[in-house]
Amino acid sequence: MGTLLAVRARGIGKCFDDVVALDGVDLEVTRGRIYGLVGPNGAGKTTLLGLLLGLAVADSGSLEILGVPVGRALAAPDGVAGFVDGPGLYPSLTARQNLTALAALHGEGPRTAGVDDVLHQVGLTDVADDRARGFSLGMRQRLGLAAALLARPRLLVLDEPSNGLDPAGQQHVHGVLTRLAADGTAVVLSSHRMDDLEALCSEVTVLAGGRAVFSGPVGELAAAHGPLDYRLVTSDPPAARRLAAGTPGVRVLDATRPPHETGPPCDTGAPRDPGRLVVRAPVPALDTLVAALVQAGVAVRELTPVVSPLEAAFLALTAGQQQEADR
Ligand SMILES: Nc1ncnc2c1ncn2[C@@H]1O[C@H](COP(=O)(O)OP(=O)(O)O)[C@@H](O)[C@H]1O
Ligand SMILES: [Mg+2]
């Protein structure tokens, strides 16, 4: 029995000339779990996933993959498969030929999967004999996933696997990853889509500027953020504004202000309608406001978070770094 940890990374640092891509990142991924890496562009996600795949070596820190310390030599650690920056495919070969060529490299054995089986798993059976050249981004992603599945990895590493997927493709990919995790495979994926994280990942690390600014269960990420911004539509906007302003704990945000002036960047959902309020409040204060509105005879027609709790937490955690990156 090996360790239950598929990845154990401590204080990982990686620079490209004077760019610090990773700055002391810790990561622990348990077998049988789907783990998410999120962060804005340039946060270091691809760099970190590349280290897990043995495509590059860290400058500092320690890394163990499936219980084995990773050395200084560039080599794919045993039991790991996946891709960063899109899968490598032969455009002039069909989906099936691409996979057959790869399967030949792996050699057949108890630890390899069949080409037809992996094509079926990712939903590409119908286009198996079409050339990869004509594939959409989403189809290429799925073919890349099929290629990774051939080796029956114990750690699957995927960089933005949901890019370009239509809803059906996404369902296939989610199904595949969930089944793999249930069979004990660890999956590490990067995504900038909060719906992916919510649907798939038990734990996430939020990277910003090469640092892990949050690590933990997805539910804790949603709760990690303070009061949310809510859109409030009522039958009497001026009265609602007055009542909101007079409710302790409720802050009325000017819906016409640019997002960056409202604290954590909140896209107020294009609320250029003066009848629509945006308020920032913890839930108990919001309850008080709703009771006050009802008592004053003001009908509440809509009260919804401007962004999902997860997205709000993500934006708040990564706001500073993003503004630095934009400068
Ligand atoms: N091969 C490379 N050469 C130079 N800089 C790189 C290289 N790979 C990544 N970087 C830099 O490292 C930082 C992190 O990049 P990356 O890991 O690709 O971020 P993400 O995948 O989160 O968008 C960025 O500033 C990027 O420009
Ligand atoms: Mg990337």
pLDDT digits (tens, 9 = 90+) for 263-281: 444 444 444 566 679 999 9
pLDDT digits (tens, 9 = 90+) for 247-257: 999 999 975 54
Percent of the chain with pLDDT over 90: 61
Ligand 1 and 21: CB distance under 6 A: yes
How remote is the CA of residue 44 from the centroid of ligand 1, in Å?
6
Per domain, the residue ranges of the chain are 5-223, 226-326
How remote is the CA of residue 83 from the centroid of ligand 1, in Å?
15
- What's the CA gap between 286 and 230, in Å, rounded? 9
Residue nearest to atom 5 of ligand 1 (CA): 16
pLDDT digits (tens, 9 = 90+) for 182-212: 999 999 999 877 777 888 898 999 999 999 9
Ligand 1 and 16: CB distance under 6 A: yes
What CATH homologous superfamily does 226-326 map to? Malonyl-CoA ACP transacylase, ACP-binding (3.30.70.250)
pLDDT digits (tens, 9 = 90+) for 48-71: 999 999 999 999 999 999 988 987
Q: What topology does CATH give the domain 5-223?
A: Rossmann fold (3.40.50)
Task: Please tell me the predicted confidence (pLDDT) of residue 260.
Answer: 40
Per the CB < 8 A criterion, the answer to whether 82 and 46 are in contact is no
What number of residues does the chain have? 327
Task: Please tell me the predicted confidence (pLDDT) of residue 269.
Answer: 47
Query: Could you give the count of Cα atoms lying within 13 Å of 267 in the half-sphere of its Cβ?
Result: 6
How remote is the CA of residue 296 from the centroid of ligand 2, in Å?
51
Q: For the chain, list the strands marked E by DSSP.
A: 5-16, 19-30, 34-38, 60-65, 68-69, 80-83, 155-159, 186-190, 203-208, 211-217, 228-234, 251-253, 276-281, 300-305
Q: Which ligand is nearest to the CA of 42?
A: 1
